[in-house]
Amino acid sequence: MACLPLANIFARKTRTTISVLAVGVGVALFLVLVGLTSMLREIADRTTNVQAHLMVWPASDQVVLSGGLPADKVQGDLKAIPGVARAVAVLRWPLKMAGRVQNVYGIRPEDWDLFAGPDRMVEGRALKGGDEMVIDTRLARAGGYRLGDAVERWGHRFTIVGIAREGIAGRVFLPIETVSRATDQDRLRASFFYVRVARPADVQPVRQAIEERGLRAITFDEYYDVLAGSFVDMNLVIGSVVFVAGFVCFLVILLTVYTMVIERTREIGVLKAMGASRAQVFGLVMAEAGLICAAGIVAGFLLTWGSRALILDLQPLWTVDIPAVRFAYAAALAAGGTALGALHPARRAARQDPVESLRYE
Amino acid sequence: METILEARGLTKVYHTGAAPTAALRGVDLAVRRGEFVSVMGPSGCGKSTLLYLLGLLATPTEGTVILANTDTGAISDGRRTLLRRHHVGFVFQRFNLLAALSAEENVALALRLRHEAVQSRAREMLAAVGLDDERRRRPGELSVGEQQRVAIARALVTRPDVLLADEPTGNLDSEASERVLDLIGRFHQQSGQTVVLITHNEKVAERAERLVRMRDGRIAGN
């Protein structure tokens, strides 16, 4: 019995190929989109990969958007709160490098230790001041930057003095004074602050004290939710793609198997004449759909692998991480769509009247 | 000899058109084990309907079929399937081989449905019908005569109690017809295979030990 579904799908190579590809596209669509959403996680992971406990920014902002806080005054206020060990001002500003807009992290050079230890430096050294720039390895790779290269922006000529292993908060670091001056700020401003508390137990009291001063303070654990919340339609998009991917599998399998059942009406009659039970006929049809689905899943994985490689080649700064569990989820989605799609035609085949089937022209 | 297959008062009425059509009207027929029976009659006389009822592919409107000492009148569809699988082999006018499978796989399929070992028996059966060399060919690559011989091998590989053949030579030329009838005759004589053969051809019917004539859904002569 095992050979019949296999023989049938090989007997209709074009239809099988199209069906397999359609299932594969559904699987790949789902996986690539899920992979692309990992960019958000990567940004959140980087942003919170700092030796601090809280992020602070103006209460009026949903996320860090502006350079609206007076750096020295707010820093002084934060340091005055009992339990605060350090308050680090960051002026985040867009700068185009490697063909894409990067968020420059303007920081005081003495605060570098909160962002990366000495072992994080792959080449060169940390910031000291002036028109110095530190970038991460990923940006260096994407833009072809090397230690000592000059980068001309905002009418300044920045020199890359260090390259740090990727995973640090920003891809580009400059001294905060340099960013402030280069972007024509009237005084030193900050987009947000990292706050390190003396003891972990101080986090909540410090947070409360900060919020009493009209600022927003969130823990790193909350940051991903805040970031995801700024992409309010993301879950809707993911949900839509999951639905489309599942529906594509369902529709393709339904049409394929339905056509197959109609086309093989006589054969089903013959099988019944030979003593095939309803369950056996049902099983044969489902097995054929299952084989198409299995091949479609494999094709989908290959398409995903190819698409991911292509995306990363074209956009090296993008992140397309797909955890193994998502592959299992995609396979389950395709299998579910297939089972639903094949169910009706398989039942129809199983219930076909053998005499009518044998007389079918 | 025991009766292996019996029809008692078989009536079959179809309700497909405006008025009900009676294809069979109270047919009684008993086939003994090892017997070769031809059922002959003009088109539309109910021969094929009788065959489908005898092979448990259809259920009668009235009457019953007794196959291998089992009265099939009140048994479930699943049991009818099992009885058919274990006791009946079919040969059709249009061969009805599965196009995607080779000759050997077509024959083996009948065994696979019974969860039996397949390889050697399928080959032996193909050799018995003279097609050992053609076993890897698909139906489309065989002549019509060869296709019907594969169909006979498929029907007999499970060693059924009864072989039901519906116009097995209807699509064949005279030479291929002779060969197929010789083959059926040989299985009957050598292995004692019970055969019920439906035909409208007098010469084909004469091959049997017993000739049953049908007309207008009734047995007209036995």
Mutation target to probe the A interface, by most A beta carbons within 10 A, among B97, B101, B137 is B101
Does some domain include residue A50?
no
Q: What is the dihedral of CA B63, B65, B70, B72, to 10 degrees?
A: -60
How does pLDDT run across B156-166, given as a tens digit for each residue?
999 999 999 99
Q: Is the confidence at residue A234, as pLDDT, over 80? A: no
In this structure, are A239 and A170 located in the same domain? no
In this structure, are A176 and A266 located in the same domain? no
Instruction: Determine the pLDDT at residue A67.
Output: 63
Nearest CA in chain B to A264: B98
Per CATH, is B3-221 categorized as 3.40.50.300? yes
Average pLDDT over residues A323-341: 91
In this structure, are A200 and A165 located in the same domain? yes
Which of A179, A213, A247 is a domain's end point? A213
- Does the distance separating the beta carbons of B58 and A274 come in below 8 Å? no
In this structure, are A66 and A129 located in the same domain? yes
Does some domain include residue A73?
yes
How does pLDDT run across B202-213, given as a tens digit for each residue?
999 999 999 999
Instruction: Write out chain B residues lying below 8 Å of A4, CB-based.
Output: 98, 100-101, 105, 109
- Closest Cα partner for B47 from B219, B178, B209? B219
Nearest CA in chain B to A283: B113
In this structure, are A125 and A9 located in the same domain? no
Does some domain include residue A305?
yes
Instruction: Determine the pLDDT at residue A231.
Output: 67
Q: Is the confidence at residue B146, as pLDDT, over 60? A: yes
What interface predicted TM-score (ipTM) does this complex get?
Answer: 0.92
Q: How confident is the model at residue A305 (pLDDT cuts 50, 70, 90)?
A: very high
Mutation target to probe the B interface, by most B beta carbons within 10 A, among A260, A270, A281, A282 is A270
Instruction: Determine the pLDDT at residue A1.
Output: 53
How does pLDDT run across B15-33, given as a tens digit for each residue?
877 788 899 999 999 999 9
- The overall average pLDDT reported for chain A is 87
Does some domain include residue A55?
no
Measure A4 CA to nearest chain B CA, in Å: 7
- Does the distance separating the beta carbons of A1 and B100 come in below 8 Å? no
In this structure, are A78 and A162 located in the same domain? yes
Does some domain include residue A83?
yes
What is the domain count for chain A? 2
- What are the residues of chain B with a beta carbon less than 8 Å away from any beta carbon of chain A? 52, 55, 57-58, 77-78, 81-82, 84-86, 88, 90, 92, 96, 98-101, 105, 108-110, 112-114, 154
User: Three-state DSSP class for B62?
Assistant: strand
Who has greater pLDDT, A155 or A332? A332
Average pLDDT over residues A16-23: 91
What is the C-alpha to C-alpha distance for residues A109 and B199, in angstroms, rounded to an integer?
A: 102
Instruction: Determine the pLDDT at residue A61.
Output: 67
Which of A213, A243, A275 is a domain's end point? A213
Does some domain include residue A258?
yes
In this structure, are A202 and A238 located in the same domain? no
Does some domain include residue A253?
yes
How does pLDDT run across A76-116, given as a tens digit for each residue?
999 999 999 999 999 988 888 888 888 899 999 999 988 88
How does pLDDT run across A264-300, given as a tens digit for each residue?
899 999 999 999 999 999 999 999 999 999 999 999 9
In this structure, are A172 and A296 located in the same domain? no
Q: Is the confidence at residue A235, as pLDDT, over 80? A: no
Average pLDDT over residues A238-252: 81
In sequence order, the β-bridge partners of residue B37 are B196, B210
In this structure, are A115 and A190 located in the same domain? yes
- Does the distance separating the beta carbons of A269 and B100 come in below 8 Å? no
Q: How confident is the model at residue A207 (pLDDT cuts 50, 70, 90)?
A: very high
Q: Is the confidence at residue A127, as pLDDT, over 60? A: yes
DSSP A331-353: HHHHHHHHHHHHHHHHHHHHH--
Instruction: Determine the pLDDT at residue A136.
Output: 92
Instruction: Determine the pLDDT at residue B50.
Output: 95
In this structure, are A28 and A112 located in the same domain? no
In this structure, are A64 and A36 located in the same domain? no
What is the C-alpha to C-alpha distance for residues B19 and A78, in angstroms, rounded to an integer?
A: 96
How does pLDDT run across B45-66, given as a tens digit for each residue?
999 999 999 999 999 999 999 9
- Name the residue facing B52 among A8, A11, A355 (closest C-beta): A355
- Does the distance separating the beta carbons of A358 and B101 come in below 8 Å? no
Nearest CA in chain B to A351: B77
How does pLDDT run across B82-140, given as a tens digit for each residue?
999 999 999 999 889 999 999 999 999 999 888 887 778 899 999 999 999 999 999 99
Q: Is the confidence at residue A301, as pLDDT, over 90? A: yes
Instruction: Determine the pLDDT at residue A183.
Output: 78
Length of chain B equals: 222
Q: Is the confidence at residue B222, as pLDDT, over 90? A: no
Q: What is the dihedral of CA B122, B124, B125, B128, to 10 degrees?
A: 160
Domain ranges of chain B: 3-221
How does pLDDT run across A25-67, given as a tens digit for each residue?
989 988 998 888 888 778 888 888 888 889 998 877 665 555 6
Which of A213, A247, A277 is a domain's end point? A213
Q: What's the domain range around A246? A: 3-43+233-359
CA A62 to chain centre: 21
Instruction: Write out chain B residues lying below 8 Å of A358, CB-based.
Output: 57, 92, 96
- Does the distance separating the beta carbons of A4 and B78 come in below 8 Å? no
